[in-house]
Structure 1
Amino acid sequence: MHTFLETGTFAETMIDRCDTKLAIWSTLLPASKKDPLRQDGKVDEVMFMAHMMASIIISTLHRPFSSLAYIAEEFSTQAFLSPTPFVLQPKTGRLAHTARALKAAEMQTKFLAIPCGMERHNLFAMCISAQLTAAQVSACTNLLDGHALFIARDRVRLSIGFLNTMGSIWPVGKKMAKDVRSIARAALSNTQHTVTVDAGPAAAEIEIEMPRDELIWPVDPSAQIDIYSGIVIPNDWDATAFNYSLSIPSDLM
């Protein structure tokens, strides 16, 4: 925060310093704190939130320098805002920034897939999850294909399910879920991987209600699935087409 106040930008020097501090924090954690799930099957909610905070910090720092371009609909959300800081034009290392932003989204999925009462999580986990899901949607749009894309879309559904569950206590959770669905619908409906469905006038109001076991499948935190293996991350930032679109099909409004 001091570095940002001094420079007014998210420069690579600040990112390096923050990465170092996060790495130190993670390294110094005792083994019992590295996983929020305790041996007795209960969730350490303090550590759950700490790891979620670490994941959003990583995403916020690295996504602006990565190939996970911001989607136009992220700037019109009502219940949360995607962090879009002013950054200096990166010179090198876009691949590393992209990999770290993807890792943050993967971390969030593993935490949400922990079998527990989701409504017990800290309410601020909702905003973190919504922001990281927007980054996940960008990965679906710009990087992923085939089986990796199907898994990533399941991860988006997992986050929406989490927000809906939290919405049973905190009404803003359902509003965040609606915003995330709008981002995903607008972004993924423009890709060749989208399955055509009959989207009636009330489509935007449909709530996704799924049993938890169905919701998290095939996401299994113990399976160590790397859905990003084999993808080609664009090297040329300027030459990469991110398909920004300010128009939304009328049947999705």
Structure 2
Amino acid sequence: MSNGSPTELFNGLGSDIPNQPPHSTPVSSGSGAVDSRTPPNTVQAACLACRAKHLKCDGKNPCGRCQTSDSGECVYVASRRGYKGPRRNAAPNPNKRHASDSESPPSAGGDSCPMLLGATVSSAAPPSLPTFNPGLVLPESPATPYTPSGINSLQLYRTPYLNGTNGALVEANSRPQTVPERCIDAFYYYFYPGHPAVLPKEQLLKTAKDGKIDHLLAAMRWVGSLYIDAGPARATFFEEAMRLSYSRDVPKDGYLVQAMVIILIGLDGSCQQEKAREILSDVERIAIEIGLYTRAFATNHGGAIPRLEESWRRTWWDLFVVDGMVAGVHRQTNFLLFDIVADVGLPCEEHEYTSGMIPRPMFLEDFDDQLFSGIDREFSSFAYRIASIRNLGRMMRLPNSGFPNEENVNRIESLLSNWRMHLPPSKRDCLNKDCQLDEMMFQAHMINHACSIILHQPLSQLDSSPAREVTACAPHRAVQSGDRFNLHTKHIITAACEISKMVTYNVPITSHTHFFTCVLTLSSIVHLSKWALEYFIHDEDDLRQQIRLNIGALNKLSGVWKAANNASGQVKGVAQEIYRAKRAQQSNPSFWVGFTQEEIISSMAADEGIMSEIDTMLTSSAP
């Protein structure tokens, strides 16, 4: 067996990878089932139908029992004790026809939009499958599996991404769903709104019939499994996604870029950050090699299908934003794609993409010239998200290793302020015209606030040492305390408060990108540093509420993402330390000189209240 890395597999090495056996079953466009990958002439596992009934299976495809019973589905996966396969006679009609792109009806108005993640360049060798590298650590399952309601026989879709129902409650099928199907649905329900590059579900499954995008479906199944209780199938899905994506036979195309971006996002959220960066390095190389950053790519590879052309444009820009997010929150990479001169068209609005009514794309030069051209244009939320991450790239190109002088800081602050001031009325908050959350604008605002903290924190006068243990996303940055709050300190406090307000939108926290975890952590560091001040804070009760919001949001995200679990534990731990230090200070009568008895009682009671909540959170999350 080869020990070659995935990069070697891309280059045609690692020839010991087993080829697909004659009886392998391609992923069904209706079921999203996993391919079996056992060597020919060997029976290493029973099919799911036989295994569910504890019957002997002959390993053929279909096997003898399924053929005798006229079962419509005979699927093999790696042997996992306790796994229950799909019921017999559960196959959908493989000849079911889907509406073509041109026949798709217009969507009923706006719908929620996506939000991006992190990626960047690394010089290290890419990760390998456990089969080829036993040292690879598989992402762990959450301590408590996050099991969303409504992802089984009934589907409550937030958006028309899945089947054009515009949020209606729909009976998915008369039969129970298989685990792979549930994972695909979870992908579209939770993950896709934040990363809307792949084709909408109906068209994607239609494309999947020829078996050429098995690697993409495998990546989608694995990430979808992180949101539900998928059991031992989760590890199988990950192995399948890695093996297919790094197969020597996989075409280097837009679908491969989509699959690898999905995998690296899942790995990053599962605390496999180094491996995620290595995959990012590979996918950036592939995207540049195939010319994904050029205007012509969408036309040349879109088959005159407007929605597919739009998908390729979104694939480039999604990768671009992911690269910037990884660089910004982890501060371990340098946002390589920022320096690529790309002329890809800007993505359209989400409801236009979903409906298939794709307008003629606009470009970055149109966006940059909008104030001076005299032409009134309406740009998409996705475009404002791109503009926001470009400001992060400009900030990262400042000299002095991230500790810029006042002149450079003022220059970048002008970009951040201009981005906010020149937003059209429909983009000034995170709600669309139907008062639903606009995920693209959510992320755009989130990036803007995070940039403000990263830019101003080095020159602020808010001592960061109390939060030095909060390192889940990035290393601690020492900031010395000053005699008074300067302008930079006010900037980071304002941005931290705005980030906390973003928690209050009435949508599942887990539907946001997992990089919201790191932005919440940035906000929490500012809040905790301010709370640790020795003197009385006039807005201390508001500050406590913001700390509560951040910890509660991190707690929710912990159900899916291990990175959020780490950040949550660190923030709670620091909050406890600050509380104990404040209690020690308060035991000195001189601390309360100048305060009324009412202020003293109120402050102590509020501190007791937040610590009681934090203690409860720590107890409930303990293994």
Worse-superposed segment, 7-16 or 152-161:
7-16
CA distance in 2, matches of 1:144, 1:40: 45
Go from structure 1 to structure 2 and tell me whether the alpha carbon gap of 1:152 and 1:9 turns closer, same or farther (over 3 Å shift). Answer: closer
Contact 1:182–1:204, Cα closer than 8 Å, also in 2: no
CA distance in 1, matches of 2:431, 2:535: 30
Unmatched runs of 5 consecutive residues or more in structure 2: 1-395, 587-603
Q: Which amino acid aligns with 2:411?
A: R
Give the secondary structure class of the aligned counterpart of 2:608. coil
CA distance in 2, matches of 1:124, 1:146: 30
Worse-superposed segment, 108-117 or 8-17:
8-17
CA distance in 1, matches of 2:498, 2:461: 18
Go from structure 1 to structure 2 and tell me whether the alpha carbon gap of 1:120 and 1:108 turns closer, same or farther (over 3 Å shift). Answer: same
**In structure 2, what is the equivalent of residue 68 of structure 1?**
462
**What are the equivalent positions in structure 2 for 1:156-235 lying under 5 Å apart?**
156-191=547-582, 192=586, 193=604, 194-195=607-608, 205-207=618-620
Go from structure 1 to structure 2 and tell me whether the alpha carbon gap of 1:51 and 1:144 turns closer, same or farther (over 3 Å shift). Answer: farther
Return the structure number with greater relative CO, CA threshold 8 A, min gap 6: 1
Contact 2:462–2:530, Cα closer than 8 Å, also in 1: yes
Go from structure 1 to structure 2 and tell me whether the alpha carbon gap of 1:34 and 1:85 turns closer, same or farther (over 3 Å shift). Answer: farther
> Is residue 80 of structure 1 aligned with residue 476 of structure 2?
no
CA distance in 2, matches of 1:158, 1:196: 14
Go from structure 1 to structure 2 and tell me whether the alpha carbon gap of 1:98 and 1:32 turns closer, same or farther (over 3 Å shift). Answer: same
Go from structure 1 to structure 2 and tell me whether the alpha carbon gap of 1:115 and 1:144 turns closer, same or farther (over 3 Å shift). Answer: farther
**Once the 2 structures are TM-superposed, how far is the Cα of residue 177 of structure 1 from its aligned partner?**
0.6
Go from structure 1 to structure 2 and tell me whether the alpha carbon gap of 1:65 and 1:46 turns closer, same or farther (over 3 Å shift). Answer: same
**In structure 2, what is the equivalent of residue 236 of structure 1?**
none
Give the secondary structure class of the aligned counterpart of 1:50. helix
Deviation per CA, 1:12-54, whole angstroms, max 9, x where unpaired?
A: 1221011001111112211111101224232111111111111
**Once the 2 structures are TM-superposed, how far is the Cα of residue 67 of structure 1 from its aligned partner?**
2.7
Q: How many residues align?
A: 202
Q: Which amino acid aligns with 2:503?
A: L
1:40 aligned residue (414, 417, 434): 434
**Once the 2 structures are TM-superposed, how far is the Cα of residue 4 of structure 1 from its aligned partner?**
2.1
Give the secondary structure class of the aligned counterpart of 1:40. coil
Go from structure 1 to structure 2 and tell me whether the alpha carbon gap of 1:143 and 1:65 turns closer, same or farther (over 3 Å shift). Answer: farther
Contact 2:531–2:543, Cα closer than 8 Å, also in 1: yes
CA distance in 1, matches of 2:509, 2:609: 31
Give the secondary structure class of the aligned counterpart of 1:55. helix
Go from structure 1 to structure 2 and tell me whether the alpha carbon gap of 1:134 and 1:82 turns closer, same or farther (over 3 Å shift). Answer: farther
Go from structure 1 to structure 2 and tell me whether the alpha carbon gap of 1:179 and 1:198 turns closer, same or farther (over 3 Å shift). Answer: closer
> Is residue 128 of structure 1 aligned with residue 519 of structure 2?
yes
**Once the 2 structures are TM-superposed, how far is the Cα of residue 125 of structure 1 from its aligned partner?**
0.8
Q: Give the root-mean-square deviation of aligned CA atoms.
A: 3.2
> Is residue 50 of structure 1 aligned with residue 444 of structure 2?
yes
Contact 2:509–2:553, Cα closer than 8 Å, also in 1: yes
* TM-score of the two chains, using structure 2 as the length reference: 0.30
Go from structure 1 to structure 2 and tell me whether the alpha carbon gap of 1:172 and 1:15 turns closer, same or farther (over 3 Å shift). Answer: same
Contact 1:3–1:14, Cα closer than 8 Å, also in 2: yes
> Is residue 111 of structure 1 aligned with residue 502 of structure 2?
yes
Worse-superposed segment, 101-110 or 78-87:
78-87
Go from structure 1 to structure 2 and tell me whether the alpha carbon gap of 1:175 and 1:124 turns closer, same or farther (over 3 Å shift). Answer: same
Contact 1:82–1:131, Cα closer than 8 Å, also in 2: no
Contact 1:75–1:81, Cα closer than 8 Å, also in 2: no
Deviation per CA, 1:87-142, whole angstroms, max 9, x where unpaired?
A: 9x99xx95211211111111112211122111111111100101111111111222
Q: Which amino acid aligns with 2:497?
A: E
Go from structure 1 to structure 2 and tell me whether the alpha carbon gap of 1:86 and 1:177 turns closer, same or farther (over 3 Å shift). Answer: closer
Greater radius of gyration (CA): 2
CA distance in 1, matches of 2:478, 2:512: 27
Contact 2:460–2:479, Cα closer than 8 Å, also in 1: no
Contact 2:437–2:507, Cα closer than 8 Å, also in 1: yes
